[in-house]
Structure 1
Amino acid sequence: MTRGTSDGDRQNADDRRGEDADRRHDDRRDDRRDDGDRRDRDGRLHGETVILTGASRGLGASMATRFVREGANVALSARGEPDLRAVAESVADAPGDTIVVPADVTDEAAVAALVEATVDAFGEVTGLVNNAGIGTLSLHDERRTVLETEPADWRRILEVNLTGAFLCVSHAVPELLDAGAGNVINVSSGLGRRAAPGWGPYVASKWGLEGFSRTLSDEIADAGVNVNCLDPGGRVGTRFWDHLPEEERDDVLEPDVMDEAATRLLAQGPDGVTRESHPAAEWERRLDRDGSASDGSA
């Protein structure tokens, strides 16, 4: 016999789900407080499990190295498995653990498998860093105006930079909600807050990512999950900058430019800073002004 569900039953179920979420939120905050001594010993990210896309080189590889050395368990993902394994091997002696899960962020099945592999390996997900990104320089070693941009290139750039972030959020954030707290970092760009000739699809993707991040933050902030954008400032050792002369490239490339800011954002507790977007250096100053949020002790 099938029993109908009344409005009152549905409301009671919703209330119970809300109470469960609040309980997980409070438990997670208490766990972070109790974990303070161990974090001091094993790193600021001890106990965190982070999915990091675009982890095979440059900025992503540098962040991966820092996260694992700060005690996080990290699922390393990108399309190229050999480079990912090289990153994993470089931190084999670090406090945190790694798994290598090659994936194309535009392939939903691959993204779902990435999240599933992370949960299978580590039991939960508490952080997501959407770092995978491309631009016309990645595709053609040159900038192109809007009128020179091929529709296929436009679609590919938005699929990786924006749809890829959406797919990762869609599959990973429910795990953060189940954990009762967590942090999402969407790697943006200064071009996500302004414009520049020759960067049309990249600019569009990053403006979209900024708005998407604010919307997501508004939707899940009460669940204890912080969502922020982090801007590397364009000084990253990837193919974005391969067009530069070697001596100039050596001067501007700083793959570790975001490591500290990203670490501090991932270490935030449920009451941390959310819905903001800053370059790495400004994030460090921002978190210095609000130190309680940066260590989960709020």
Structure 2
Amino acid sequence: MAIGLQVASVFRLWVIARDLTRQANGSGQITLSVLKQALAGFGVRYGRSHFNTLLRNGEGLFWNRDRERLYLHGYQRLSAQLTDLALLQNPDLVAENRPGGYEVYLCPTGSAEQWHAMCYAGWLASRHDPTVSRETLSRLFSRSADTLRKWERDHLQPYLQIRHNYAQCADTAHWPYPNLPAHTGSYAAQTREGVQLRLIWQLPNSYRTRRLRLHRHRGQGRKARRMSNHRLYLMIKAHRKTSSRSLFGFGETGSHRRMYFASARRLKQ
């Protein structure tokens, strides 16, 4: 979500600062001098003007600060504020991508583009290696499909394996839907009955991440998800639009409508 909201660079500072405070006394406070030293250790180079700009952009959203110290916002508070910001700027970023999953260990080194690519891979890992279309990914990250391919090619070769899925149909009479996909192609297949013309089209890709470790506990993820759901429900209640309720999947009570269940027994309950 941070990439789509154009705050990924500020998010990197928050991630590094949060990890440093966790390794220290867990106070959520960090001095600017310690943060600068940590950035240099990770190979992240910012000039004074750029660094101060990032501090200003993150103030009130990722942290509060004085002249020498940052006071970091917690995960739940940050999730709620990012949800509010997404609802104002681009609701699609949060409609199908609410905070609250498992945390992923990411390497914050390198350029801004490399960090964006790592966040992209981390999102796929946190979603347990999904099968998802590039159109959906482009919408969630506010990046073109070409940009996503560049990330995968230039930065994510060791971390990401992509399987391209295809479907084919020998006879359109067997196709159960009214129309074929717009990107359908054709090819000549050699069969026992001779050469046949078959239709083929690409399905959403399957992504498998490697060398990315998820935290074994969800931690504050459940509370962050409930808080994000509540913010969405308040927005829906304020607008009173049936289309919005259908989009976000909320009932009148404010609880999120389950679209799937772990077992038939849960469904009956």
Shorter-normalised TM range:
under 0.3
Using CA pairs below 8 Å that are at least 6 residues apart, which structure has the higher relative contact order? Answer: 2
Which structure is higher in strand share? Answer: 2
More helix by proportion, 1 or 2? 1
The TM-score normalised by the length of structure 1 is 0.22
